C-alpha cells in the first residue's frame, strides 16, 4: 500500500518547486520531511524559509510510476497549485 506524493515549495527553492516521493507510510514520511529528516532537497527548502505543502498523492503508487513521473519532469503540470486547470 505505497503511495506517490508531490510536495510544492512556496516560494520555489532556486529551480526546485516540487518534490516527488514514494512511501509506504505517507503521514510518517511527511513528518520526516517537515522536521528536516526527509530528503535533502526538502530540508534545504525549509531552511530557506519555503512553505512545503503536500499537494497531491497517487494511491497504489509504484517505483515504476515514480520514475515515469520524475523522468517527465512535469511537476508543475501535476501540481494543482501551479496548474489548477489541468491537475
Ligand atoms: Zn506546484
> What mean pLDDT is reported for the chain?
88
Taking alpha carbons only, the member of 59, 1, 7 closest to residue 30 is: 7
In a domain, 39, yes or no: yes
Q: How many domains does the chain have?
A: 1
Query: What's the gap in Å between 80 CA and the centre of ligand 1?
Result: 7
Residues with CB under 5 A from ligand 1 (ion): 8, 79, 81-82
Q: How far is the CA of 78 from the centre of ligand 1 (A)?
A: 8
Q: What is the mean pLDDT of residues 42-57?
A: 94
Residues 60-85 have pLDDT tens digits of 888 888 888 887 766 678 899 998 87
Residue 87 inside a domain? The answer is no
Residue-number span of the structural domain to which 62 is assigned: 3-78
Q: Residue 45 domain-assigned?
A: yes
H/E element holding 48? none
What's the CA-to-centroid distance between 4 and ligand 1, angstroms?
15
Q: 61: left (phi > 0), else alpha (psi -120 to 50), else beta?
A: beta
Domain assignment of residue 84, yes or no: no
- Residue 14 Cα, ligand 1 centroid: separation in angstroms? 14
Amino acid at each position: 500500500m505505497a503511495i506517490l506524493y508531490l510536495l510544492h515549495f512556496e516560494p520555489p527553492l532556486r529551480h526546485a518547486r516540487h518534490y516527488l516521493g514514494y512511501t509506504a507510510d505517507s503521514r510518517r514520511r511527511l513528518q520526516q520531511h517537515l522536521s528536516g529528516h526527509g530528503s535533502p532537497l526538502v530540508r534545504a527548502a525549509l531552511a530557506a524559509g519555503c512553505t512545503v505543502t503536500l499537494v497531491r498523492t497517487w494511491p497504489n503508487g509504484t517505483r515504476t510510476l515514480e520514475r515515469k513521473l520524475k523522468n517527465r519532469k512535469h511537476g508543475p503540470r501535476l501540481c494543482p497549485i501551479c496548474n489548477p486547470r489541468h491537475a
